[in-house]
Every structure is written in C-alpha cells, then in structure tokens.
Amino acid sequence: MVELLALVGVAVLWVLVRRLTTRVRQLEESLRLLQQAQAWTALQDPAEAASPAASAAAWGVTAAPPSPSAATASGTPATAVPVGAAADAAPAWGLTGPVPGPEAIPRPDVAPASRGAARPPVAPPADELFDWDGPAASPDPAEAAEPSVLARAGLAIKAWFSTGNVPVKVGMLVLLAGVAALLRYASGQGWVNVPIAWRLVGVSALALGGLALGWRQRASRPVFAQALQGGSLGMVLLVVFAAFKLYGLLGAGVALGLSALLIGAVAVMAVRQNALSLAMLSVATGFLAPIWLSSGSGNHVALFSYYALLNAGIFAMAWQRAWRWLNLMGFAFTWGIGTLWGVLQYTPAKFASTEPFLVLFFAFYLALPVLFARRATAREGDRLDACLLFGTPLIAFALQAVLLEGKRLPLALCAVAVAALYGVLAKALWGRPRHADLARVHAVLGVAFATLAVPLAFSSSVTGCVFALEGAGLIWLGLTQGRRGPQAGGAGLQLLAAVAVLDALSQPALASTPVFNAGFMSLLLLALAGLTSAWLYRRASGLQAAATARRDRGASPAAQDAAPTWAAAVAYGWGLAWWLLMGLREIERFVAADGLWPASLVWLGATGWLAAEVHARRPAAALRWTSLAAVLAAYPLALAQGTPLWGWPVIAWLVAAALTLRSLACLGPSPADTTSAAADRQVAAAQLAWAWLPPTLVCLSLPRWFSAAPGDWPLVLFALPWLAAAALALWRWSWLGWPQAGRLPGWRHVYLGGTFALLAVWWWLALGSAGDTLPWPWVPVLNPLDLAQLAVLALLGCWWGRADAPEPLARWRAGGLAGAACVLITVVTLRGTHHWGHEPWSLQLLGSSLAQSCLTVLWSVLGVGGWVLGSRRGHRVLWLAGAVLMGVVLLKLLLIDRQNLGDLLGIGAFIAYGLLCTAVGWLAPAPPKAASADDAGEEPGRAQAAPGGPG
C-alpha cells in the first residue's frame, strides 16, 4: 500500500512539474522571438531599434503576458494580452510559444507602410524561423486520428490528478491506505486489545462521520465533499466485507442488506448533489457487492432480485438525471454478469425462475434510453443512446433463444411481441419533434423483429413472399423520405427473399395444381416486388425535389439524375427474371414434353405483349427492349422445334403472331412518348425481326411438308418464301411492315439488304446444283432452279433501280447484274451439257471437250454481243467488256481448246470463234470515237452513232 501511495505521489508531482516546464518554455520562446524581431528592425532602421515594443509591433509579435510577480515588481499593472491567434499559428511556424499568425508578419521583400516605399528592401538574415516558402500545412483537427482506448484512459487519469481539488483526492487515497496500515500495525503489535467487533464499529463510526461531514460541506466545497463521501463509502464497505469474509461477524444476508442500504443512501446523495462520479461509484460497488460477499449458495433468484432492485435505483436516478455513463455501467454489469451466470450455471430446469428476470431487465433498459432522451439537454445527436437502443434487444433476444433452446415457434411469438412493443413506443413518440429520431429507431427495430418473426414461424416460401413485399415497402419509404438507408434495406430484403424462395424451390415439390401452388405464388410476389421497385425508382427519377436534395449533397446533377434510372433498370431486370422463371417453371412441371417449346413461345409472347401494353401508357426503353427480346426469342424456339408449322404447335405460333402484332402496335408513338432515334431503332429492330420470322418458319417447315420431294426441289422451295418476302418489301411494304411501316419507311432497305444477303448465299450455293427437278423435265432457263435464280437477279435489279435505292447500289447496278447473269448463263450451259450431253455432274465435267467447246462458243457470243452492242450504242465500257471477254476466249483456245483439235467439237470451237471475230471486224472493227456521257457505268440516255462499215 505504501508503495502504491508513493507511485501516486510521484505521478502527481510529475504532472505539476511538466506543466511548469511547458510554461517556462513558452515564455523563453516568446522572448527569443521578440529579440529576433528587434534585431531585424535594427537592420532596416537603426532609429527604430531603440523601441523594442515598436519593432515587435511592426512584426506583429506579441510577448507573453508578464507574470503577476513581474508586474508587481515593475510597479505597473499586468495587462492581459490575447494569445489565441498566436497559439493557433504557432504550430504552422514551428514555434511553441504564443506567436502571431503568419498573416500578421509581412514578408521581408514588402516594406511596412510606416517606413515608406522608397527605401529598397534588405535581405533578411538566414534563419530557419522565416521560411518564406510557406508555412507547413497543419493537420486538420477534424481529420486527426481518434485517440485509442488506452490513450483516453491515460488522459482521464491525468485529468483526475490535475483538475479539481487534487489535494483532497490524493489525501483520501493516502488516508485510506494509512488507516488500513495503522489498523494492521496496531493489531500486530498488540497495542489495542479491543475486540475486533468494536474495532470495526469504531472504523465504521469514523467513516460515517466523514460521510456526514462531506454531506454538510456539499454546498460550500462540492469537490471536497464528493471526494470525502466516496472515500467514506469505500471505508464502510471495507468494514462490512471484513466483518463478513474475514472475521465471520455478519451473515451474508445482513452484510448484503447493509451494503445495499449504504449504497442506496449514497446514490440518493449523488442525485441531490448532481454528482455523477459518486453515483457511478455507488452503482459499481452495488454490482460488485454480491460477488465479494458471495457465500457460494448459488441462489440465482436472490442474486437477480438484488440486481433488479439495483436497476430500479438506476431507473430512479435516470428519472432525475441524464447520466449516460451511469446507464451504460448498469447495462454492462447487468447483461455481463447475467450472461456469465447463464453460461456457467443455467439449466433448463431454471427457466421458470429465470425468464421473469430477463423480461424485467429488458424492460428496464428499454425504458432507460427514453428517459435519457427526455432528460438530455445536449445536442440533438446526443439524445440517442445507440448502445442501449440496439444492444438491449440484441442481447436480450439472444439470451431468450438460449432459454428457449432454439424452439422456432416460441421465438417467433417473442419476436412478434417485441415488434409490437417497439411499434407502440414508436407510435407514442412519433408526434413529438424532440423525439423524432428516437421514434424512427423504435420503428426500425419493430420492423426488424417483425421481419425476424417470419422465417422463425413460416416456411421458406412464405418467408420469401413476406420479405419481398417488405423490401418493396422499404424502398417506397426510402424514396418518399429521400433516405438511402431504407432503400438499401429494401434491396437486401429482396435478396434474402430470393434466397428463401430458391431454398423452397430446391425442396421436393408436392403440389400438383398448376398456378395455384406455393412455388408459383412465391415467384409471382418476388417478381411483382421487383417490378414495383422499378416503377418507384422510375417515378423518383422525375421528381425535381429529390434531385435538388441530392445535388445539395455535393454530387453532380447528371450523376444524381442517372442514379434512380439505373436503379430502376436493375430492379426491372430483377423482377423480369423472376417473372420469366415463374412461367417457365410451371410449363416445365405441368406441360408434356412435346409442348414445352410451343408453351414457352406463348409465355414469352405474352410477356412481350404485356410490356408493350404498359409502354403504350408509360413509355420506357426497358419495355421496348422486353418486346424486342420476346420477338427475337422466337428464332431459337423455332430452331428447337425443328418444324414449327406442323401439327398443333401451329396454334401456338398463331397466338404468338397475334400477340406480337399487338405488341408492335403498342410500340408506336403515343402522346406520352417523346420519340427519339434510339426508340425508333428499337421499334424498327422489333418490326424487322417480326417481318423475317414468317419466311424463316416456312423454310424450317418445308422439309416436313415436302419430305418426298426429289432432287433439287428442296433447294428451290427454300428460296420461294424469301423471294415472296423480297417482292412484298418492294411493292407492298405497308403489308409486310405493318403496323410500323408508315413510321419507318427508310428501314425497307435494311430489310431488303438482309433478305438479299440471304438470297445471295443461297444463289451462290445453288450454282453447284445440277437442277434435277423431276418430274419436271430440264429445259434451259425454264426449269425451276434456273427460274428461281433468275428471279433473284430480277428482284435485285428492281431494288437497285428504284429511285430511293441507296446510291452505291444504283451505281453498281449494271455491272453487278451483268456479271451475275454471265455466271448464271455459264452454269446453265454446264447444266445443259450434263442433262443433254449425259456428262456426269462433277468437277470432271470441266474436263469434257463438249463442255469446253460449249463454253467457248457461249463466251464468244457474249463477247461479240457486248462488242457490237457497245459499238452501236457508243458505250465504251460495254465495248471494252466484250473485247476483254473475247481476249479471255482466245486465251482459253490457246491453253485448253487446242488440246481438242483432234475431234470435231474442238475444231468447231475454233471455227466458231473465227467466224464471230470476222463478223465483229465487219460490224465494229474499232472502239467508238466518242464516249457517251455514261462511261462511268450508267445506262446511256441516248444512242450515239457508231462507225459502221468496213474500215
């Protein structure tokens, strides 16, 4: 004990010496700064050096205020000098004394106004004091690191020893140690032969006398009185402890009763004196008294009854004083000791005797934050005791779960009761502006416990339904109040709802009724919650008040306005995903295998139609995308079916067609729609996807319709629906593009481009077919395959020849069609050699002398025709094309046909080429002398005279 007192004394002396040392350093630093300022003034003007005060004032340096002794010695009264600004600026200038701020000290290169501007400045002496690169940035107090728990404890101990009536505090500690040491020494030396009971009575009387003295001095010397009362309380409690534990003079009940009586009296005295430290001392000793006075009987009823009485005292003190730390101390001791007892000694047999105390303690610490808020007079934020508000229900409910051994239904009922209690408190506090935050906290806790009751009482599917609806409600509440906390909570609840629903769906399904089953209803509510959230966010994105409130928080208006839009898109995608899963799951469970794809088609079509109907009333890009996706989804479903237009699935396609046409009609412009280019592109994409769908379905169904068609009939039949689609696009676009054809006239060329791209691929592949279309006999040009290929070229020419055709297509019309026609005539010639010359249709056909002779004659005729026609019409490009083709034929004769001069076919080819060249020499021996206006590749507008007659 003596060593402890020595350490305490050393600590007190160290604190006092430290404060005196700091003060001396401040005075020395102020004096040094004053001397430096005087020296600098002497360099500028020696006349001014005589006045230290003037030089110091010129630099804005204020000396530290003189001590009272100095003032007395000089005979002048001490004058207080403000040093607040100097203290603030000192850290930035590297000073520890009270110096002025940087703004008060002029830079060396700027002469003070009083000295005149004519005298040039003199460079200052090198000194680290005047660092004109600028003061070091002082740390922002708001950004300073929060002190640790140990640092705060050290500061509290230091404050206890350095503030208030320090001598009394130290004296009481020393007195306690001295009395204990004296009693011990006297007992050891045998000085006092008084029985131990009378000794304890004497010490108690002395301590009670000190307590009475402290009470009498409470008004005149409050700090001294409170310290004396606390020390006296400690002495009496030590006497009671010694009488019970060391000497056995008191029973456990008597000792505890005396301690409680004494503690209660001191608590009343603390309230009367508004002494928080005295109240905390009494409460701490009250909670510890049963521990050090324990007899080991294990009577938990007596223990909790005593703690209930002690908490009632805390409640009574809270009724009078807003002592937050006292409430926290009671909270920590009550729940800490209770939890420790529960871990070490609780058994299910003690439930009936333990549950009432749990409820009672919960009621105490449920009411204490309300009393604290009622009595608090500090800032608004200090009226909420978050530790008690949130810690009490969490700890109490956790202990309740332990007492109930995890039984779900009783726990659910407890959660409902707690939720109702918090709801009542929130309702009672809601209309009071002073307690608005407290009411909101109680409302949140009530909602939380009501939410917790759902999974405890119901199955996963019901939990998912409740959580989904509650999540949508929280999002509505957050958007209404402009708060992000409820919005985040609502999103989190919907995620938990999804987890619960998926857990329910993973279990074996017992329901056998379509639609009216728990899985369908759970998914439906989850989808509706997501779609409702999307609608709420979309509505919030247009509210200017919310945008203004968010802009005031520092974010850019564009970013803030986009936040609800993005949230709406995410929520819509979330709800739509659950909507689709809801329908597809029912189809998979209750529809036969051969009807899965048709039923899915109808479900997707209905989804797109519903989105379009909503779009007609409330236009939104997400709804247009949904309708477009529904149309595009028909393509993979058609491929999955194989032959979509066969059997009863035709009905599904008719229903889907009706839904799609209605969807396209709803996507048209409406009074509420501000049509944009993006919206037009989405609608056009949906319209084009629909217009390409019928020929696709027909092509996929043709193999089933004409499964017995021989030869190349399937190839011919494949082109027919696309040729019909191209013809309708050329001459009846209003039919094919209904109902959006009038809104999208320019998209006809996009449709024709896609259609002819597919036909071009087919046309190229068809060149490799022999044209066997039995029972139709093969006739050049008049057989089905040749006619289909000619129809492609004819329709292509009609498209390229339209007045509104794209310019590149019109420019390449003549050359492109001529080249394609030349290729087709060549293939038709080869087909003729196959059918009439009985040559096999393979690559070996090109090595046949008959095929080569026919190609020589054909190309020669074509070349001579282009040659002559170009010469007659004055079309130089056509004339050159014929000449080039004739050159190619000549090269072919020299490289290939000369090998066939041993038979009549090869000889005939040479003779035919010679005769044709001779005819050209007679009809068009030279290129035209004047080029027409269409040499660039366009059709000639008028005929031009060509040189005729022999050269």
Is 579 exposed, middle or buried, given 0-12, 13-18 or 19+ CB atoms closer than 10 A? buried
Domain that holds residue 905: 848-951
Mean pLDDT along residues 116-128? 41
Give me the phi and psi of 877, to 5 degrees please: -65, -40
Same domain, 19 and 107: yes
In a domain, 714, yes or no: no
In a domain, 233, yes or no: yes
Q: 3-state secondary structure string, 104-139?
A: HCCCCCCCCHHHCCCCCCCCCCCCCCCCCCCCCCCC
In a domain, 235, yes or no: yes
Domain edge (last residue) among 567, 590, 613: 590
> What angle do the packed helices 677-705 and 748-766 form, to 10 degrees?
30
Is the separation of the CB atoms in 244 and 293 below 8 Å? yes
Among 389, 392, 391, CA closest to 358: 392
| Residue 471 confidence (pLDDT) above 60 | yes
pLDDT for position 41: 67
Lowest mean pLDDT among 106-115, 346-355, 397-406: 106-115
User: What are the pLDDT digits (tens) for 129-174?
Assistant: 333 333 444 444 444 455 665 676 677 666 666 666 566 666 666 6
User: What are the pLDDT digits (tens) for 615-655?
Assistant: 988 888 899 999 999 999 999 999 998 888 888 889 999 99
Cα separation, 426 vs 449, in Å, equals 14
Lookup: tokens for 403: 């007492």
Mean pLDDT along residues 258-266? 74
Among 487, 619, 483, 618, CA closest to 546: 483
Choose between 362 and 153: higher pLDDT.
362
Lookup: tokens for 393: 């229900």
Same domain, 10 and 93: yes
Cα separation, 691 vs 698, in Å, equals 13
pLDDT for position 935: 44
| Residue 503 confidence (pLDDT) above 70 | yes
In a domain, 184, yes or no: yes
Same domain, 105 and 183: no
Same domain, 6 and 99: yes
How many angstroms separate the Cα of 853 from the Cα of each of 118, 430, 850, 876, 919? 114, 104, 5, 29, 19
**For 827, how many CA atoms within 13 A lie in the half-sphere containing its CB?**
21
Is the separation of the CB atoms in 85 and 60 below 8 Å? no
Same domain, 866 and 950: yes
Is the separation of the CB atoms in 31 and 7 below 8 Å? no
Choose between 520 and 116: higher pLDDT.
520
Of the chain, the percentage scoring pLDDT greater than 70 comes to 66
pTM: 0.61
Cα separation, 436 vs 433, in Å, equals 5
Domain edge (last residue) among 559, 590, 621: 590
pLDDT for position 901: 54
Of the chain, the percentage scoring pLDDT greater than 90 comes to 21
Same domain, 502 and 578: yes
Same domain, 104 and 190: no
Cβ neighbour number for residue 690 with a 10 Å cutoff: 22
DSSP 3-state of 625: helix
Mean pLDDT along residues 923-942? 47
Q: Find the length of the chain.
A: 951
Mean pLDDT along residues 38-63? 51
Choose between 129 and 725: higher pLDDT.
725
Cβ neighbour number for residue 101 with a 10 Å cutoff: 17
Q: Write the CB contacts of 605 (distance below 8 Å, at least 6 apart in sequence).
A: 630, 634, 655, 656, 659, 660, 663
User: What are the pLDDT digits (tens) for 746-802?
Assistant: 788 899 999 999 999 999 999 988 888 878 888 888 889 999 999 999 999 998 888
Whether cis (ω within 30° of 0) applies to the bond prior to 739 is yes
Q: 3-state secondary structure string, 471-534?
A: HHHHHHHHHHHCCHHHHHHHHHHHHHHHHHHHHHHCCCCCCCCCCCCHHHHHHHHHHHHHHHHH
Among 129, 117, 128, 126, CA closest to 59: 129
User: What are the pLDDT digits (tens) for 882-929?
Assistant: 777 777 777 776 666 555 555 555 566 666 666 666 666 666 555 555
How many angstroms separate the Cα of 807 from the Cα of each of 150, 653, 798, 801, 804? 83, 39, 14, 10, 8
Q: 3-state secondary structure string, 346-402?
A: CCHHHHHHHHHHHHHHHHHHHHHHHHHHHHCCCCHHHHCCHHHHHHHHHHHHHHHHH
Is 458 exposed, middle or buried, given 0-12, 13-18 or 19+ CB atoms closer than 10 A? middle
Cα separation, 901 vs 893, in Å, equals 10
User: What are the pLDDT digits (tens) for 577-623?
Assistant: 999 999 999 999 889 888 899 999 999 999 999 999 999 888 888 99
DSSP state of 244: I
Same domain, 856 and 950: yes
Among 616, 538, 541, 597, CA closest to 571: 538
pLDDT for position 862: 80
Same domain, 108 and 189: no
Among 155, 33, 158, 141, CA closest to 97: 33
Cα separation, 794 vs 812, in Å, equals 15
DSSP 3-state of 403: helix
Cα separation, 701 vs 847, in Å, equals 39
Cα separation, 929 vs 926, in Å, equals 8
- Range from 426-430, 597-601, 841-845, 848-852 that averages highest in pLDDT: 597-601
**Which bin fits 592, alpha (ψ -120 to 50), beta or left (φ > 0)?**
beta
pLDDT for position 708: 63
Is the separation of the CB atoms in 180 and 231 below 8 Å? no
Total number of domains constituting the chain: 4
Cα separation, 770 vs 762, in Å, equals 14
Cα separation, 659 vs 584, in Å, equals 18
In a domain, 444, yes or no: no
DSSP state of 555: -
Lookup: tokens for 601: 């088609």
Whether cis (ω within 30° of 0) applies to the bond prior to 775 is yes
Same domain, 292 and 185: yes
Lookup: tokens for 213: 């003295």
Domain edge (last residue) among 297, 331, 352: 297
pLDDT for position 933: 41
Q: Which helix (H) or strand (E) holds 621?
A: helix 621-632
Q: Write the CB contacts of 416 (distance below 8 Å, at least 6 apart in sequence).
A: 449, 450, 453
Cα separation, 69 vs 75, in Å, equals 10
- Residue 877 pLDDT level (bands cut at 50, 70, 90): confident
Choose between 377 and 179: higher pLDDT.
179
Place of tokens 């660039």: 936
Q: Write the CB contacts of 663 (distance below 8 Å, at least 6 apart in sequence).
A: 605, 608, 609, 611, 612, 627, 630, 631, 686
Mean pLDDT of the chain: 74
User: What are the pLDDT digits (tens) for 541-567?
Assistant: 765 444 554 455 544 444 445 678 889
In a domain, 611, yes or no: no
Is 594 exposed, middle or buried, given 0-12, 13-18 or 19+ CB atoms closer than 10 A? exposed
